[in-house]
Amino acid sequence: MSADDKVMLGVSGGVDSSVAALLLKQAGIEVAGLFMQNWEDDGSGAAQGSENVAGGRKPRATECRAEDDRQDAVAVCGRLGIPFHARNFAREYWDGVFQHFIDEYRVGRTPNPDVLCNREIKFKTFLTEAHVLGAERIATGHYAQVERRNGHWALLRGLDADKDQSYFLHQLGQEQLAATLFPIGHLPKSEVRRLAREAALPTHAKKDSTGICFIGERDFREFLGRYIPAQPGEIRSVDGQHVGEHAGVFFYTLGQREGLQIGGVRGRDGAPWYVVGKDIVTNVLYVDQGHDSAWLLSQSLRSEAAHWVAGAPPAATFDCTAKTRYRQTDAVCRVSVLDNGSVDVVFEAPQRAVTPGQSVVFYRDDACLGGAVIASTDAPAIGDERTIATTGRAA
C-alpha cells in the first residue's frame, strides 16, 4: 500500500481491533476508527425492525452491550490519538443479515449470520462508508491474512489456528481483499494480549465476545420465539418411538445434545440422545442415541451457488480440504462444480452433522478458496418424504 493511503479501522471495543489500531499507528499509517452499531432494540430486547430504524428512533442500550463496546472503542482511539467515528448500520443489518437469519430458521435450516455480516456489512456497507470518509483502505481485527499470489489476492488462514477466522470470511472477493488489511492476522492471540497490556490499552483484559451479538446473553429459544412462534411437538426416535416433547423444531440443529430433556426411556440404555432430523411439516423432532449415530453421518453434500475468492474455481473438479463448521478439522474431499454454480462435495471419510444452511468452506494448505451454503447431504433419510424435503437430506 502507498504510505499516503488512509485506513479506516473497524473498532469494536474488543482487544483484537484495539491491537490492530496500535499496530497501524506504530507503522506510521494514517488511521481512524469507525464503530459500527449493527443492532438496536426497543429496550426490552426486541428488535425495532428496519421500518423503525429508518424512522430514526433514538437507540437504546441493548443486551449485547453495544454502548459499553462503543465507549471502550472511544477510549482506545483516545489512548492512541486517532480519530473516532460511529455509524448506525442497523437497518442494513436487518435487511441484509437478520431477515435472512429468520427466514432460514422458518424453513428448518441453521444459518450462519457471521458469514453474511462480513459480506454485507463489514466488507460492503463499512467499506463504502470508509470511502465516503476519505479512506482508501479498511482494516479489521480478524485473524486472517491477505497476500498477492499468482496475479490475484489470496485469503489466508490466520497464524493462530485456534483463532483463524477465514471460515467466516470466505465470501470476500478480489475487490474487498484488495482494499483490506488484517493487522493481527500474523499473530497468536497470546501476543495480541501482551501487546495490548504493554501499551496499557483499556481493553487488554476484556473478555472475548462469543455467540451472536443480537442475541447476547439472552436465552436463544426465548429470543427466536419473538420472531417465529414456538409450536411444541413430539420427539421421536428414528424407529418411531415417542421419547419426549420439544419446544419447537426451529430451536434445534443436527447433532445437538443439550436441551432435549429426554429422561429414562423404557427399553433404552442411558446413552445420551442427539438430534438427527427435524420435520417442520409434521412438527416432529427425530433423535438417536450415540454421538456418532449413523443417522448423523454423511459422505457427500450438494451446495447452493458457490463463491470463489479468486473469482473462479480452481478447476471443474479438484481435490482440497473443507470445513463444514467453524473450528472443524479439515476434511479431505473432492469438489465438482456444476453448471449452475453449485458444487457436489465427496469426502474421503464420513462427516458428522453436516447441516443445511451452514457453510462448507474449501482450503488448499493455508489459502481459503471460497465456499457455499450447504443445501443437502446424503445422510440417511428419516420418516416420510416431507422429512426429506424439510431437512435437506438427499433421497
Which residue, of 179, 198, 217, is where some domain finishes? Answer: 198
Quote the number of domains for the chain. 3
3-state class of 352 per DSSP? Answer: strand
* Per-residue pLDDT, 331: 98
| 271 and 362, same domain (yes or no) | no
Mean per-residue pLDDT over the chain, rounded: 89
* Per-residue pLDDT, 51: 41
Q: Residue 50: inside a domain, yes or no?
A: yes
Q: Residue 46: inside a domain, yes or no?
A: yes
Q: Residue 216: inside a domain, yes or no?
A: no
| 155 and 15, same domain (yes or no) | yes
Cα–Cα separations (whole angstroms), residue 36 to 39, 79, 92, 174, 373: 9, 19, 11, 23, 26
Q: Are 250 and 280 in contact (CB under 8 A)?
A: yes
DSSP assignment of 272-313 equals PEEEEEEETTTTEEEEEESTT-GGGEEEEEEESS-EETTSS-
| 258 and 280, same domain (yes or no) | yes
* Per-residue pLDDT, 62: 45
How does pLDDT run across 108-132, given as a tens digit for each residue?
899 999 999 999 999 999 999 999 9
* Per-residue pLDDT, 60: 39
Q: Residue 141: inside a domain, yes or no?
A: yes
Q: Is the pLDDT of residue 256 over 60?
A: yes
Residues 6+ apart with CB under 8 A from 92: 38, 120, 121, 125
How does pLDDT run across 277-311, given as a tens digit for each residue?
999 899 999 999 999 999 999 999 999 999 999 99
* Per-residue pLDDT, 217: 61
Q: Residue 24: inside a domain, yes or no?
A: yes
* Per-residue pLDDT, 39: 83
- The C-alpha cell 469438489 sits at 335
Q: Are 306 and 316 in contact (CB under 8 A)?
A: no
| 27 and 159, same domain (yes or no) | yes
Question: Whole-angstrom Cα distance, residue 49 to residue 315?
Answer: 42
- The C-alpha cell 453436516 sits at 354
Q: Are 54 and 30 in contact (CB under 8 A)?
A: no
* Per-residue pLDDT, 213: 67
| 110 and 194, same domain (yes or no) | yes
| 344 and 305, same domain (yes or no) | yes
* Per-residue pLDDT, 383: 60
| 191 and 340, same domain (yes or no) | no
| 121 and 245, same domain (yes or no) | no
Which residue, of 198, 214, 244, is where some domain finishes? Answer: 198
Domain with 34, as residue range(s), is 6-198
Among the listed residues 265, 306, 282, 288, the one whose alpha carbon sits nearest the alpha carbon of residue 379:
288
Q: Are 13 and 72 in contact (CB under 8 A)?
A: yes
Phi and psi at residue 165, to the nearest 5°: -115, 15
Question: Whole-angstrom Cα distance, residue 166 to residue 333?
Answer: 18
User: Residues 174, 180, 181, 187: is their CA dihedral positive or negative?
Assistant: negative
| 305 and 253, same domain (yes or no) | no
Residues 6+ apart with CB under 8 A from 58: none
Q: Is the pLDDT of residue 58 over 50?
A: no
* Per-residue pLDDT, 222: 83
- CATH number reported for the structural domain that contains residue 53 in this entry: 3.40.50.620
Q: Is the pLDDT of residue 44 over 70?
A: no
* Per-residue pLDDT, 286: 97
How does pLDDT run across 71-85, given as a tens digit for each residue?
999 999 999 999 999
* Per-residue pLDDT, 212: 67
| 119 and 63, same domain (yes or no) | yes
Question: Whole-angstrom Cα distance, residue 234 to residue 287?
Answer: 11
How much of the chain, in percent, has pLDDT values that exceed 70?
87
Q: Residue 219: inside a domain, yes or no?
A: no
* Per-residue pLDDT, 385: 35
User: Residues 108, 390, 326, 156: is their CA dihedral positive or negative?
Assistant: negative
Residue 235 one-letter amino acid: I
How sure is the predictor about 390, in pLDDT bands with cuts at 50, 70 and 90? very low
* Per-residue pLDDT, 225: 86
* Per-residue pLDDT, 275: 96
| 278 and 312, same domain (yes or no) | no
Question: Whole-angstrom Cα distance, residue 341 to residue 160?
Answer: 32
In whole angstroms, how large is the CA radius of gyration of the chain? Answer: 22
Which residue, of 289, 307, 330, is where some domain finishes? Answer: 289
Active-site residue set:
117, 213
Q: Residue 374: inside a domain, yes or no?
A: yes
| 340 and 272, same domain (yes or no) | no
Task: Please tell me what DSSP assigns to residue 57.
Answer: P
* Per-residue pLDDT, 394: 47
Q: Residue 204: inside a domain, yes or no?
A: no
Question: Whole-angstrom Cα distance, residue 160 to residue 245?
Answer: 42
- CATH number reported for the structural domain that contains residue 280 in this entry: 2.30.30.280
Cα–Cα separations (whole angstroms), residue 89 to 12, 37, 41, 64: 13, 6, 13, 15
- CATH number reported for the structural domain that contains residue 341 in this entry: 2.40.30.10
Q: Is the pLDDT of residue 272 over 60?
A: yes
Lowest-confidence region among 193-207, 263-277, 330-344? 263-277
* Residues 155-174, mean pLDDT to the nearest whole number: 97
Question: Whole-angstrom Cα distance, residue 241 to residue 262?
Answer: 12
Q: Is the pLDDT of residue 230 over 90?
A: no
Question: Whole-angstrom Cα distance, residue 106 to residue 98?
Answer: 12
